[in-house]
């Protein structure tokens, strides 16, 4: 590749203050997903991410950032805001999993049901959703994704380099494995 060509890379580094993270900060491989809870391709990637996490254990740090594509997925924005509202109550990953496991059911009554199932403070959850308290945070995720070269979901980065999975999610597993092999032992 010539030096004049631009290769998409993660522009906003992973941060404990800003990101939703599973795995140790010193893991040799960091996988960042820009995802949309209503996107069928993100839904197909969800079990693959779980498989990669199970295989890699502490050698992987997984980060999820919201990237709702509201033109195609009318419930994705509110689902992202619901995940952020759950995060404020310490239940991001639980809500994240429920949203992906129930992609066909992301209307407000469903979101409220998931929040109740997680024993969230419902008055707070309802108020934060109706006031769009986390809309700016979701927009910041989307903007950082665009700046990093994300054009569709899921958008993946392995150790800050974009990973094209348009020819199959098995490529993600291969990219994570290759990144691990490149790490000094």
In the predicted structure, residue 125 carries a pLDDT above the cut 60: yes
Dist CA 183 CA 27 (whole Å)? 10
pLDDT at 1: 42
pLDDT at 146: 96
Band of residue 8 on the pLDDT scale cut at 50, 70, 90? confident
User: Which stretches within the chain are classed as H helix?
Assistant: 40-56, 76-88, 92-101, 108-117, 122-130, 135-147, 170-182
Residue 106 DSSP class = -
Is CATH 2.60.40.420 correct for 20-182?
no
- pLDDT higher at 56 or 183: 56
pLDDT at 7: 67
In the predicted structure, residue 5 carries a pLDDT above the cut 60: no
Q: Give Cα 17 distance to the centre of its chain.
A: 15
In the predicted structure, residue 4 carries a pLDDT above the cut 50: no
Q: How does pLDDT run across 126-176, given as a tens digit for each residue?
A: 999 999 999 999 999 999 999 999 999 999 999 999 988 877 777 888 889
- Nearest residue to 161 (alpha-carbon basis) of 39, 6, 8: 8
Q: How does pLDDT run across 12-55, given as a tens digit for each residue?
A: 999 998 999 999 999 999 999 999 999 999 999 999 999 999 99
pLDDT at 183: 76
Q: How does pLDDT run across 78-96, given as a tens digit for each residue?
A: 999 999 999 999 999 999 9
Enumerate the domain spans of the chain.
Answer: 20-182
């Amino acid at each position: 590749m010539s030096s004049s060509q631009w290769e998409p890379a993660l522009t906003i580094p992973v941060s404990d203050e800003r990101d939703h993270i599973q795995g140790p900060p010193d893991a040799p491989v960091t996988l960042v997903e820009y995802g949309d809870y209503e996107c069928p391709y993100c839904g197909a990637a969800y079990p693959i991410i779980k498989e990669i996490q199970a295989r890699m254990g502490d050698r992987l740090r997984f980060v999820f950032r919201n990237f709702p594509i509201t033109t195609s997925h009318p419930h994705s924005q509110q689902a992202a805001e619901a995940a952020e509202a759950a995060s404020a109550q310490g239940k991001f990953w639980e809500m994240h999993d429920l949203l992906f496991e129930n992609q066909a059911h992301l209307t407000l009554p469903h979101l409220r049901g998931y929040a109740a199932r997680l024993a969230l403070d419902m008055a707070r959850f309802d108020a934060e959703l109706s006031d769009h308290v986390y809309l700016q945070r979701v927009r910041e995720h989307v903007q950082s994704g665009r700046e990093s070269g994300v054009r569709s979901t899921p958008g993946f980065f392995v150790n800050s380099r974009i990973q094209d999975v348009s020819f199959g999610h098995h490529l993600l597993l291969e990219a994570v494995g290759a990144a691990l092999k490149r790490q000094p032992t």
